[in-house]
Amino acid sequence: MSFVRAQRSVLPGFGLSLGFTLTYLSLIVLIPLSAAFIKTAGMSWADFMTAVASPRVMASYRLSFFASLAAGLVNSFFGLIVAWVLVRYSFPGKRVVDALVDLPFALPTAVAGIALTAIYSKNGWVGQYLEPHGIKIAFTEIGVFMALTFIGLPFVVRTLQPVLSELEPEIEEASATLGANRWQTITRVILPELLPPLITGFALSFARALGEYGSVVFISGNMPMRTEITPLLIITKLEQYDYHGATAIAVVMLVASFSMLLVINLLQKWSRRYYQV
Amino acid sequence: MSSSFVRLLSSLCFAAGLAVSASRAETTLLNVSYDVTREFYKEYNPAFIAHWKETGGETVTVNQSHGGSSKQVRAVIDGLQADVVTMNGIPDVDQLAKINLIPANWATRLPNGSVPYTSTILFVVRKGNPKGIKDWSDLAKPGVSVVIPNPKTSGNGRYSYLAAWGYALRQPGGDETKARDFVKKIFANVPVLDTGGRGATTTFGQRGIGDVLLTFENEVALAIKELGSDAVEAVVPSASVLAENPVVWVDKVVNKKGTTKLAKAYLDYLYSPAGQELAARHGFRPTDPAILAKHADRFPPIALFSVPEVFGSWAAAQKTHFSDGGIFDQIYATK
């Protein structure tokens, strides 16, 4: 994030490229989103509140938010390890593993959902061993979390990888020669460098999970008050030709997601400043 | 700026649409239908095309579009140029009347309330019926797991819910309170609410979840074929709901395209013995009594009640049961 400076930049074309950026963003992002706001503008405040604050919708916010948060956190931890391994070590089949990471990007989300459900339901590969022990994954909140973790992993790995490969091993060696033990090298030297991309990766994974629909509806079981995610409720309202109710929930999600992303961006900026002084 | 962009975009889309339609010179008809009529119309369309030619018409192409029923209707509302719409629920077609794509009296334009064939909700159980499920009352028993798709998102689930309610109401001494209790007990036995009928069949068949699956009569045969007659069998309850499949030509579209006569003939032919025969073969109950009698082995006798009979009207049933905060929501909120 840079601000317009008073003095002219040495790079020409600022006005033109900014104009282009704004036009492009308006066309691709703002116009479709503003349609949601315009549609809800026709609602009375009371209608809006019943649409967005009924117990069923509130329950779905809770599930969507906490499952996405958990998925984002888990992905941040394991994604960091995956990225670390992929950048720092070489081993046979590394290219294949690297390509595997992108699979959740490329796979149609419905396919992911059906596959996960097939594996974790009570007669599936994994489910048949878990269910006798009373562990249910498919058609529970855990299933939702699993699906969201699946789709979010590449975001963390792919944001961390370039930063990690920029981070030269010499820095670690320098830290060792200056007397730091391994733990100190990790916590004082490596992690501070990785924190900003880690926050970005977390934010992307989290935001993606909030809006995810295709993979979740298959594994969640869609039980009202328990395993309904917010995007499902938007679809449910559309199925009932309740365009206003659907857009009202969409607006709430938009505002919530935007504010969270904004906060995370600020946090990232702050973390960078803090460690680079 | 934004409105001129929207205008520019929409005119571009319109131009693209024109280019596509201009490249097809011959007369085409688009039938927008729901999911499970695909196989039926695949056979019906060639039959109709041949019939239309025989009676002196031009060569026509009939295109079909299938998907979840309300999604399909939304597409028509948003501008999909459907000449005819063939659905599984009256409320879906009523939506088209609401925005004046068709007149409010659409149901009076074709015989039998514009319904050429019907269906009903039956049960599919595991082979040998280990839980002894015979009728609706067995679904409310503790320990029975029932697979029903979400009544709010699928016609299938909606009819199942209304059938259970109607059954309870029509029992001796039945009233609203008892019906509500009964339906609540059944839905307490539902482990998964899939968004559509096909999803529910998968849950029941592939995932092995549930003791009984509730689905349309025309789906039952398909489900048994798909899951194997050694794995599942059909159960016919004592009574069930009459699922009317309304068909309608879309006035706004056919007037513009000049396909009114063709669209009408297409729907009329559904009522002909040939059309009724095809419907019967695909598991839909023909409304022609002679054809129904001919296929009596396929369609077991069952006491059918229609939604307006039990609930007053479709609009009332929708509002009381499936609107936000309606009885279906309350059943789950107080669980």
Best of B192, B211, B319 to substitute, by most chain A Cβ atoms within 10 angstroms, is: B192
Q: Is pLDDT above 80 for A7?
A: no
Question: Do residue B125 and residue B225 come from a single domain?
Answer: yes
Q: Where are the alpha helices (DSSP H) in A133-168?
A: 141-166
What CATH number corresponds to the domain at position B290?
3.40.190.10
pLDDT tens sequence across A77-123: 999 999 999 998 999 999 999 999 999 988 899 899 989 998 998 88
Percent of chain B with pLDDT over 90: 67
Note the ipTM here: 0.72
Residue-number span of the structural domain to which A173 is assigned: 45-276
Phi, psi of A115 (to 5 degrees): -65, -45
Question: Do residue A127 and residue A238 come from a single domain?
Answer: yes
Question: Do residue B49 and residue B183 come from a single domain?
Answer: no
Question: Do residue A147 and residue A20 come from a single domain?
Answer: no
Question: Do residue A234 and residue A157 come from a single domain?
Answer: yes
Question: Do residue B281 and residue B311 come from a single domain?
Answer: no
Question: Do residue B189 and residue B321 come from a single domain?
Answer: yes
Q: Where are the alpha helices (DSSP H) in B67-175?
A: 69-77, 90-98, 111-114, 136-139, 155-169
The H or E element spanning position B125 is: strand B117-126
Question: Do residue A245 and residue A154 come from a single domain?
Answer: yes
- CB-closest option in A31, A123, A242 to B5: A31
Q: Is residue A5 part of a domain?
A: no
B323 vs A contacts (CB less than 8 Å): 240
Q: Which residues of chain B have pLDDT under 50?
A: 1-3, 8, 13, 15-24
B95 vs A contacts (CB less than 8 Å): 241
Question: Do residue A23 and residue A86 come from a single domain?
Answer: no
Question: Do residue B158 and residue B198 come from a single domain?
Answer: yes
Side chain identity at residue B241, one-letter code? V
Q: How many domains does chain A have?
A: 2
Question: Do residue A33 and residue A101 come from a single domain?
Answer: no
- CB-closest option in B6, B195, B209 to A222: B195
What does the pLDDT read at residue B9?
53
Query: Which tokens sit at B313?
Result: 């009207």
What does the pLDDT read at residue A276?
54
Question: Do residue A188 and residue A157 come from a single domain?
Answer: yes
Provide the sign of the torsion angle of the four alpha carbons B69, B74, B75, B79, taken in this order. positive
**Could you say which residues from 193 to 252 on chain B have a Cβ atom under 8 Å away from some Cβ of chain A?**
193-195, 199, 206-209
pLDDT tens sequence across A184-227: 988 888 888 899 899 999 999 999 999 999 899 889 888 888 89
What does the pLDDT read at residue B201?
87
Asked if B315 reaches chain A (Cβ–Cβ under 8 Å), the answer is no
What does the pLDDT read at residue B24?
46
Pairing of strands B146-147, B27-33: unpaired
What does the pLDDT read at residue A277?
44
Question: Do residue B78 and residue B154 come from a single domain?
Answer: no
Chain pair A-B, CB pairs under 8 angstroms: 80
Q: What is the mean pLDDT of residues A224-234?
A: 90
Q: How many domains does chain B have?
A: 2
Residue-number span of the structural domain to which B312 is assigned: 118-243+302-333
Percent of chain A with pLDDT over 90: 45
What does each C-alpha distance from B25 to B52, B61, B200 come to in angstroms? 18, 11, 42
**Residues contacting B179, CB < 8 A, separation 6+:** B165, B168, B169
Q: Is pLDDT above 90 for A65?
A: yes
Question: Do residue A216 and residue A264 come from a single domain?
Answer: yes
Question: Do residue B127 and residue B143 come from a single domain?
Answer: yes
Cβ atoms of B325 and A49 closer than 8 Å: no
B5 vs A contacts (CB less than 8 Å): 26-27, 31
What CATH number corresponds to the domain at position A233?
1.10.3720.10
Question: Do residue B218 and residue B315 come from a single domain?
Answer: yes
Question: Do residue A165 and residue A37 come from a single domain?
Answer: no
Question: Do residue A189 and residue A131 come from a single domain?
Answer: yes
Question: Do residue B76 and residue B125 come from a single domain?
Answer: no
Question: Do residue A139 and residue A193 come from a single domain?
Answer: yes
pLDDT band at A267 (very low <50, low <70, confident <90, very high): confident
Rounded Cα gap, residues B62 and B47, in angstroms: 11
Side chain identity at residue A255, one-letter code? V
Question: Do residue B288 and residue B309 come from a single domain?
Answer: no
What does the pLDDT read at residue A6?
55
Question: Do residue A199 and residue A113 come from a single domain?
Answer: yes
Question: Do residue B184 and residue B318 come from a single domain?
Answer: yes
pLDDT band at A235 (very low <50, low <70, confident <90, very high): confident
Query: Which tokens sit at A146?
Result: 């699993």
What does the pLDDT read at residue A212?
92
Asked whether the beta carbons of residue A26 and residue B1 sit closer than 8 angstroms, the reply is yes
pLDDT band at A240 (very low <50, low <70, confident <90, very high): confident
Best of A241, A242, A243, A249 to substitute, by most chain B Cβ atoms within 10 angstroms, is: A241
Asked if B142 reaches chain A (Cβ–Cβ under 8 Å), the answer is no
Cβ atoms of B263 and B63 closer than 8 Å: no
